[in-house]
Amino acid sequence: MLPHEHPLLTAREVAALFAVSSGTVLNWAKSGLIPSIVLPSGHRRFPATAIVAILTSQDGHAEE
């Protein structure tokens, strides 16, 4: 698969979508509340399809 078929978002981009801080997004990821991929550099990226699914779910946001 080509990389653009499964875009990844940064913590800052996810934070903007949920109207929270990037620190909150990282805490959610570390707690397993939202899926993330840890890059070799240690930075996290978030699958766009999973984030959109959470945004459009029944409650519309991740629990903190």
CATH number assigned to the domain comprising residue 46: 1.10.1660.10
Nearest alpha carbon to residue 50 among 14, 3, 20: 14
Output the pTM of the full model. 0.80
Three-state secondary structure call for residue 8: strand
Q: Which domain holds residue 40?
A: 9-55
Q: Is residue 46 part of a domain?
A: yes
For residue 57, the Cα-to-chain-centroid distance in whole angstroms is 14
Note the pLDDT of residue 57: 86
| Position 6 confidence tier, pLDDT thresholds 50, 70, 90 | confident
Q: Is residue 37 part of a domain?
A: yes
Number of domains the chain contains? 1
Q: Average pLDDT in the 21-37 region?
A: 97
Q: Average pLDDT in the 5-17 region?
A: 92
Task: State yes or no: pLDDT of 1 exceeds 80.
Answer: no
